[in-house]
A and B are shown apart, each in its own frame.
Chain A
Amino acid sequence: MNKDIENALRESAVTLPDAPPPDFESRLAERSAAEGLLDVAYAMVDSPLGPLVVAATPRGLVRLAYTGSRDETAVLEDLAGKLSPRILEAPERLDEARRELDEYFEGGRAEFDLPIDWSLTRGFTGKVLRQTARIGFGKTSTYAEVASRAGSPRAVRAAGNALGSNPIPVVVPCHRVLRTGGALGGYTGGVERKEFLLRLEGVLA
């Protein structure tokens, strides 16, 4: 007997707005950051290597991921599990990272000036990646060399694995680490991306 009123409600629900105010998400991100509730802010950043997921904590850049084989959702779910589920898309909070990445890909920047949050790295992996972060633009090193600089000259294979799990490729330049003898070796985002970056830096012709 209430069908008529239910139908009337359903029909007049079309007068309700079909979206929140356009600036809602940026206001939410700003306020949650101010109240210490935004543990991970992320943005999608276009690059010649495809769209990148770029994520930062209040301490610094924590993750940069190629999309394609692994999509954005998987990257964010992984961050939710490992860091915190308080994750919001907050492009304004990644403006500086986006600007520096743009400049790098346009050939106008040799060094990133971004604070790094190493939370996603542990132990030997962390040591290898911190050493890798010191290899300059246009320079290369080898798996053996970074293993040795990380304090374990024999752990060449482990160094390779550490580089393969780099949570912040491009900015922590694991693409600058090659095999002894000059073979490219592997790369998180696929070897074509490694070649692209080495060409961009003038290492490959």
Chain B
Amino acid sequence: MKLPPFQALLDEHGTDLYRFCVASAGWGEADDCFQETWIAALRAYPKLRSAQNLRAWLYRIAQNKAIDLHRARGRRPVPVEAVPETAAPAEPPGARLDGESELWVALRALPPKQRTAVYCRTVLGMPYDELADLLESSEDAARRNLFEGLKKLREEWTA
């Protein structure tokens, strides 16, 4: 099994992954998210058993780093299941940028898997099998994450 030189991953996915970090962690924490993602990836890289799906692997690390950063800042954890009916709306991770579209703020407030599913499908056009691999779930579950995420965004957006 041959892994490509790590620099090739950086060249191929760097810019898109940085955008994903901005979308997931927010503008203020994107740089940390991005740096931590690449360090973690470099650390784990030689032990990878397959050179398939490197993009899904990188995005999974970035998704997890965004969650870690969010927790580390002591804010309320991003809900993973449904938000209880009585709960106040979750504060989206990351500082809000002046003039930033409501949509991105709402996207950041989604549970991580839904956020990742929505971003990777709509912005990157990622195939479902790759998305399932990224989310470590079945394709059906990936579709459900996308659907739930879009539904919530629509509710926010049209509210």
Closest chain B residue to A81, Cβ basis: B2
Which of A16, A20, A76 contacts B7 (CB under 8 A)? A76
Q: Does B14 contact A (CB under 8 A)?
A: yes
Instruction: Select the stretch in B35-43, B67-75, B80-88 that faces chain A.
Output: B35-43
B100 to chain A, nearest CB (A): 8
Contact string, A9-42, partner B, CB cutoff 8 A, digits 1/0?
1101101111111001101100110010110101
Q: CB distance B150 to A10 under 8 Å?
A: no
Q: A10-B122, A15-B101 are in contact. Are A32 and B7 (CB under 8 A)?
A: no
Q: A5-B157, A28-B35, A85-B5 are in contact. Are A19 and B15 (CB under 8 A)?
A: yes
Instruction: Select the stretch in B17-25, B57-65, B126-134 that faces chain A.
Output: B17-25
Q: Which A residues from 155 to 181 make CB contacts under 8 A with B?
A: none
- The answer for the CA separation of A27 and B31 in the assembled complex, in Å, is 11
Q: A9-B123, A32-B39, A35-B39 are in contact. Are A85 and B10 (CB under 8 A)?
A: no
Contacts of B3 in A (CB 8 A): 80, 85
Q: Does A84 contact B (CB under 8 A)?
A: yes
- The answer for the CA separation of A80 and B51 in the assembled complex, in Å, is 13
Contacts of A16 in B (CB 8 A): 19, 22-23
- The answer for the CA separation of A89 and B30 in the assembled complex, in Å, is 22
Q: Does A204 contact B (CB under 8 A)?
A: no
Contacts of A69 in B (CB 8 A): none
Q: Count chain B residues whose beta carbon lies closer than 8 angstroms to a beta carbon of A.
A: 40
Q: Could you say which of B6, B100, B123 has the most chain A C-beta atoms within 10 Å of its C-beta?
A: B6
Q: Which A residues from 94 to 135 make CB contacts under 8 A with B?
A: none
Q: Does A87 contact B (CB under 8 A)?
A: yes
Q: Count chain A residues whose beta carbon lies closer than 8 angstroms to a beta carbon of B.
A: 38
Q: Does A149 contact B (CB under 8 A)?
A: no
Q: Does B4 contact A (CB under 8 A)?
A: yes
Q: Does A88 contact B (CB under 8 A)?
A: yes
- The answer for the CA separation of A9 and B149 in the assembled complex, in Å, is 12
Q: Does A77 contact B (CB under 8 A)?
A: yes
Q: CB distance A17 to B6 under 8 Å?
A: no
Contacts of B4 in A (CB 8 A): 77, 80, 85
Q: CB distance A9 to B46 under 8 Å?
A: no
Q: CB distance B15 to A18 under 8 Å?
A: yes
Q: Does B8 contact A (CB under 8 A)?
A: yes
Q: Does B153 contact A (CB under 8 A)?
A: yes
A13 to chain B, nearest CB (A): 5
Q: CB distance A37 to B5 under 8 Å?
A: no
- The answer for the CA separation of A38 and B154 in the assembled complex, in Å, is 45
Q: CB distance B123 to A10 under 8 Å?
A: yes
Q: Does A139 contact B (CB under 8 A)?
A: no
Q: Does A200 contact B (CB under 8 A)?
A: no
Which of A9, A17, A35, A42 contacts B18 (CB under 8 A)? A17
Contacts of B123 in A (CB 8 A): 9-10, 13
Q: CB distance A20 to B18 under 8 Å?
A: yes
Q: Does A79 contact B (CB under 8 A)?
A: yes
Q: Which 4 A-B pairs have the closest CB atoms?
A: A85-B3, A87-B5, A20-B18, A16-B19
Query: B residues bordering A, Cβ < 8 Å?
Result: 2-8, 10, 14-15, 18-19, 22-23, 30-31, 34-35, 38-39, 42-43, 45-46, 100-101, 103-104, 107, 118-119, 121-123, 147, 150-151, 153-154, 157
5 contacts across the A-B interface (CB closer than 8 A): A9-B103, A20-B14, A24-B34, A32-B42, A37-B39
